[in-house]
Amino acid sequence: MDNVAQGLEELIILHNITELVMGAAADQHFSKEMNTPKSKTALKLMETAVPSCKIWFTCKGHLICTREATESLPAILPSPAKNAPMAPAYSISSQMGSMAPAELEYEVSSSKGYTSSSLVATEMTDWDYLFGVYGSSRIDAAANFSGTAALPPIIGDANELTPVLHSPTQESDNVYLLLESAYNQEDEPSVDEEMYGKLQDLCSEAKLLLDQADDKSHKIGKAEMDLHSALERIKESEDSYLQEVSQRKEIEKTFARQRLQIEEMRRRLCTLSDELQDSKKYNLMLEQRITQIKSAAKDHVEEITEYFIKQSCEESKKCQKIEMDLLSTLQRVKEVESLLQNEKAQREYMEEKIARQRTEIEETKRQRDKLYYDFQDAKEQRIRLEQVDASEETNRRRKAERDMLSYLQRIKDLENQQIRQLKKQETMEETMARQKEEIQATKRKLHEIHGKHMAEIKSAVKVHEEKDANSKQLFQELQVKYDKLLHERDTAVIEAKELRQKNKQSASVTNETPYTGFSFVELQKTTNGFDAEFKISEDGFASIYKGFIRNTNVAIKLFHPRSLKGQAKFYQEVAVLSRVRHPNLVTLMGACPDDFALVYEFLPNGSLEDWLSCKKHMPPLTWKVRTRIIGEICSALAFIHSHKPYPIVHGDLNLGNILLDANFVSKVGDLGICHLLRQPDLPTTNLQHHPTKNHKGTLCCMDNGEFKSARELMLWSDVNSFGIIILRLLTGRSKQQIGEIVEEAMEKGNLHSIIDASAGDWPLMQANQMAQLGLRCITLSWGRQPNLAGEVWVVIEQLMKAACLPTGPSRFASPSDAPPPSHFICPIFQEVMSDPHMAADGFTYEAEAIRGWLDAADTSPMTNLRLANRTLTPNKALRSAILEWQQQQNRR
């Protein structure tokens, strides 16, 4: 630090510096209360510098303090070392930086548009001119002056010369800092008087220009004030606009609350309707109980039934009254909604007004910005005012003032328009308040109606509870009689089992059973004692397990032994599936009649319902696969409907009963609920009145015109279900109102909007044909339904050909020259098998052919892989199907 201060002191003496500007402290140490230097170098130089040198101490562009000179010395003195060459200023600065660069403190201030060699420091009312003269042996020329002047160099810790702006409070002086870069030994330093005179003239001219600039800057300042007032008025307009936007948001919130209130009213209406439906369901439940009691003891409940029927009539009248009240309430809600629609239209009109006003305000903002930029341009041209004629500048300023006055007039017009708009808005708010009061009155009326309805419903529920208590008492009395009848029925069932064991052989079509028998021990072993880990699904009658029996994956359906309906389904399923074979029907492989268990072929790809709903992240089925599946289902249905001698009706066809094998070939399952249309001695009353509810799982028999009508109704049920499946595969939607949705889309000509896009690019012509076919199948008039084996199959066959799918021969029409099914052919002999046996590879062969093959080799004839064993299992189900097919061929 001492070396730096000493070096500066020597430079002052060497160059006869009389005035010096230096930093008082670093920028980060600056504060408004600073009045003395903080730098040690500055303090040292303040004490030890020659008294003739006046020093200004600055920090961050502000003057901190001044050390005045105590004696008058000439501006330029001879060098104390005449014979020694002088080092240039930059080399001296470099030397100083190398001595102690961390301790040199200075203030670097720069202004936009200035450089280190040509700098200008300007103020609104005061100019300071600092001329830096760098001489060699003589001062040959003076700095040119054109409205700007060079600032004195300041020595800082960046080792460069930087200008410093004077504080606005500092008095304007002409400061000369003379740095001589070199002196010749032969020349003596002197002052050129002629050059000094020229400099004085230049200073006087500069002061005249400064006065003119002050006048012009005063006028520009006035223009700035006018612009500032205009900006304030624009800001007030923006504030009023923001206030209007906030009011509009409050109006929207009010509308939202009103909409929520309307929705709450609707929910309450829905609650009332649900309670009404519950009361109807309760009445229906009472009627069902009456029906059960009547069937259990007809002789004891005739009077009670009449009593309950009368009570049900009274309840239905009350329900009708409640429905009328609900309709009137709904009408009132519609009127309230219409009022809300009118309010919405008025609000939209207000929003349009506000949008137009916002556009005008934006235009005003743009004009304000333009005016501001014009002002900035005028401010930038202030430096060049000396070269511009005063009259032209005055005209331009007047023009700017006229433009500003016109803008202010436009702002006033906008304010007046905004005031008018606010008055209109107040009128709208008053209208909304009146409408809100009307809505509140409507809500009070609805609450009153709701209270009345709830009171009536509660009284009706109380009456029903009393009736239910009486019914329970009667039910307990009948339960005793039912237990007695149940004991008698169990005794009859035991006797029936004994008779069934004696007559098993006489009940079969051929001398041997039409299915393969499995022992219960064998079924337990393959399912690990019917462990839950092997369970696939379960319903109210049976549980289905997966197993591996005789080298084949199977599905085992175990019926609940205590369920009478489950036992009936077991016998019916055996009776149907043991006599029916079709490639698109699930194959019954065997049964265990003693324990009510059935063994089916295992279909690994699950149900069509799972694939359509994409459960377990299953990929969607393509439209070609869906077209093929529709054809396969049509083939299976037409086959069972045309079964001889008695047609078969499925009765519960849906996507959950259609299963897919490993090759995505569809097979119709759950045939245990179907029935044969033959002629026992059962009545037909229930079937005629409820064709889609009570025929499920029953054997209906009649031999007159009524039999034909009921049969058509039951066949209509399967065709209707098939139509729903077509529409679901086409659209990928659920079955609720699927017919109405498709019919409406076709009427509007936008069927493509509801087609399942995940199936791929379904050809629009084929999709139209498929939709028309599905709608024809679900018609409510069964007499107008298409025939599956006729016109339906013709359409589906054309669709399959268009999709490049193999159709093959019709599998439900059996002409005399039709070839045998492919699964009847032995892979080795290529002939219809007479004694089919299943090998370890899962394929079925003629017994003689496979035995001869195994005598020569131990590999599979189909896969050429080594067989796990040489066990052969008779395929009795396939043999029964072959025998049935041969009998049909012989009859034809």
**Edge-to-edge order in the sheet of strand 552-559:** 516-517, 588-592, 597-601, 552-559, 542-549, 535-538
Token digits for 28? 């980060």
Give the torsion sign (CA, 613, 618, 622, 627).
negative
Using CB atoms within 10 A of its CB, is residue 458 exposed (0-12), middle (13-18) or buried (19+)? exposed
Residue 652 appears among annotated catalytic residues: yes
CA distances for 49 relative to 46, 68, 86, 156, 530, angstroms: 6, 11, 21, 18, 112
Token digits for 143? 């700095």
Count other C-beta atoms under 10 Å from residue 820's C-beta.
Answer: 14
Q: What angle do CA 116, 117, 118 make, to 5 degrees?
A: 100
Strands 588-592 and 552-559: unpaired
Rounded Cα distance between 275 and 285, Å, is 15
Rounded Cα distance between 38 and 105, Å, is 10
CB 607 within 8 A of CB 572: no
Rounded Cα distance between 818 and 838, Å, is 26
The torsion angles phi and psi of 11, rounded to 5 degrees, stand at: -65, -40
Rounded Cα distance between 63 and 23, Å, is 9
Q: Give every CB contact of residue 112 below 8 A, 6+ residues apart in sequence.
A: none
Q: What angle, rounded to 10 degrees, do the helices at 705-731 and 623-641 form?
A: 170
Give the torsion sign (CA, 103, 107, 112, 117).
negative
For the residues of 556-568, what is the DSSP string, one character each? EEEE-TT-HHHHH
Three-state DSSP class for 821?
A: coil
Q: Which residues pair with 592 in a beta bridge?
A: 597
Rounded Cα distance between 655 and 730, Å, is 13
Place of tokens 């500092």: 170
Helix (H) or strand (E) holding 282: helix 193-296
Three-state DSSP class for 682?
A: coil
- End-to-end, the C-alpha distance of the chain in Å comes to 129
CB 516 within 8 A of CB 876: yes
Three-state DSSP class for 177?
A: strand
Query: Three-class SS string for 144-156?
Result: CCCCCCCCCCEEC
CB 694 within 8 A of CB 687: yes
Strands 597-601 and 552-559: antiparallel
Rounded Cα distance between 376 and 408, Å, is 19
Catalytic annotation, pick one of 226, 652, 661, 835 = 652
Long-range contacts of 701-706 (CB under 8 A, 24+ apart): 701/677, 703/679
Place of tokens 């025939």: 787
The catalytic residue positions are 652
